[in-house]
Structure 1
Amino acid sequence: MKLVLHGYFRSGTSYRTRLALNWKGVPFDYVGVNLVEGEQHSDAYKAKNPQGLVPALEVDGEILTQSVAILEWIEETFPQRPLLPSDPIKRAKVRAFAAAIGCDIHPLQNLRILKKARELAGDDAEAGPAWARHWISLGFDALEKLAEQADGQNGFTFGDGPTLAEIYLLPQMFNARRFGVDLAPYPRLVAADEAARALPEFERAAPENQPDAI
């Protein structure tokens, strides 16, 4: 099976996908799509993903889009080192934690939303980062409480190793640091981020370690 991941080094959704593939030991080729330069809007890329978004994952010629669907496919296709607990209640809690990021935090601070926030603010350069900090902090307030209620060990959020919670959390923590969010109120999130990023599989997926990093 040949996998080709089309993504952007700083894209949270691309980062999630790299994390899952690396954790499960699945080899893949990587093709950078420069979002800042607008390569996602090219005819060539839109032939792969009509939405003009990253990531797109080629699987033996078939193309998968939307990171949520891609992550589900990865978990179903490569059951080794599972990212979801076996207990149905715990699985639901991990999924809820991930969805709080994927549905309620991340979409409000991706590139196209930040550009629109800046435009509506009269091209104020600080409008985008301020918007991102607001929504990330609001979401982290809830995530910290969810993490307090979880059964995490060794710094991780659920259980004693990484789950889908960390797959979603690491890219969001990267963006939080990028936009200058005060992380002091979120010790459990910081601990989970640090525990996961210390894993060599996750270190290889970090934005700064990608071939298109600038």
Structure 2
Amino acid sequence: MVTLHHFYRSSASFRVRIALNLKKISYEQIVHDLDAGAQRSPAYLSVNPQGLLPALAVGRDVLTQSAAILEFLESTYPDPPLLPATPMEQARVRALFHIVAADTHPITTMRVARYLKTVLGCDEPTIQHWKQHWLIDGLTALEDVLASDPATGRFCHGDRVSLADVALVPQVVSALKLGVIVEAFPTVARIHEHCMQMDAFRDAHPDACQFQQPVQAIKE
């Protein structure tokens, strides 16, 4: 049995939902309301002591960190592959993935925004500016790499979906919600559009998941 602990607005959860959909893996869901701080409840901390989403329970084992979860899914459910065939191509896809997952997303999360507000005393416009700045910085890097490399195709790497696309789409969705003009990054925008034509991406989108109800017992 596979169970995903997630929240609809969590970009890292979004990545894992995309991969589960692409690989057609059936899974149960437990929704933790980040707005209510449910990820810090004793019940969830017993699942993931770090108190972050997502977590993927596979039988009695629990996996955390979206990158590790995605690598596990790739190893365990290899069809369709989300990494290309050769080590050099795989390294390129992982590098693109980490432009988002390591360099951009971590400093634009809800917990960073909460720290800026409650500890540093930043107001909402300042926090908004912070998020927009780092999202634009990350999308600029992604655009520069993708636009300059002939290995880029319909998707981030050639004409097949890869882990790079799984990272790109949630980051673009976050940027759009914060008012970033994504058309300023034409290669990124084009790839996002191609991905969103696929059911696996559409069904994982926050707008498709926002009405899933958190499980009360997990929040207590």
Task: Give the TM bin, normalised by the shorter chain.
Answer: over 0.9
Report the counterpart of residue 106 of structure 2 in structure 1. Answer: 107
Gap change, CA 1:108 and 1:150, over 3 Å in 2: farther
Q: Could you list the per-position Cα deviations for residues 71-124 of structure 1 after superposition, in whole angstroms to 9, with x for gaps in the alignment?
A: 010000000010011021111111000011111000000000011223355341
Give the aligned residue type for 2:152: G
Report the counterpart of residue 152 of structure 1 in structure 2. Answer: 152
Report the counterpart of residue 52 of structure 1 in structure 2. Answer: 51
For 1:1-214, list aligned pairs within 5 A. Answer: 2-119=1-118, 122-148=121-147, 149-153=149-153, 155-210=154-209, 211-212=211-212
Aligned residues: 212
CA RMSD of the aligned region, Å?
1.5
Aligned equivalents of 1:29, 1:139: Cα separation in 2: 32
- Relative to the length of structure 1, the TM-score reads 0.95
Aligned equivalents of 1:120, 1:59: Cα separation in 2: 37
1:213 Cα deviation from its structure 2 partner: 7.6
- Relative to the length of structure 2, the TM-score reads 0.92
Aligned equivalents of 2:45, 2:120: Cα separation in 1: 30
Question: Bigger CA drift: 202-211 or 98-107?
Answer: 202-211
1:31 Cα deviation from its structure 2 partner: 1.1
Aligned equivalents of 1:31, 1:129: Cα separation in 2: 29
Give the aligned residue type for 2:43: A
Give the aligned residue type for 1:152: T
Q: Give aligned-pair identity as a percent.
A: 35
Note the residue ranges of structure 1 that are not aligned, 5 or more in a row.
none
* 3-state SS of paired residue (1:95): helix
Kindly indicate whether the alpha-carbon contact (under 8 Å) linking 1:121 and 1:127 is maintained by their aligned counterparts in 2: no
Aligned equivalents of 1:22, 1:152: Cα separation in 2: 23
Aligned equivalents of 2:8, 2:182: Cα separation in 1: 23
Give the aligned residue type for 1:82: P
Aligned equivalents of 1:105, 1:33: Cα separation in 2: 23
1:134 Cα deviation from its structure 2 partner: 0.3
Give the aligned residue type for 2:177: R
Aligned equivalents of 2:125, 2:30: Cα separation in 1: 31
* 3-state SS of paired residue (2:35): coil
Kindly indicate whether the alpha-carbon contact (under 8 Å) linking 1:133 and 1:179 is maintained by their aligned counterparts in 2: yes
Aligned equivalents of 1:212, 1:49: Cα separation in 2: 21
Give the aligned residue type for 1:188: T
Q: Which is bigger in relative contact order (C-alpha 8 A, separation at least 6)?
A: 2
* 3-state SS of paired residue (1:184): helix
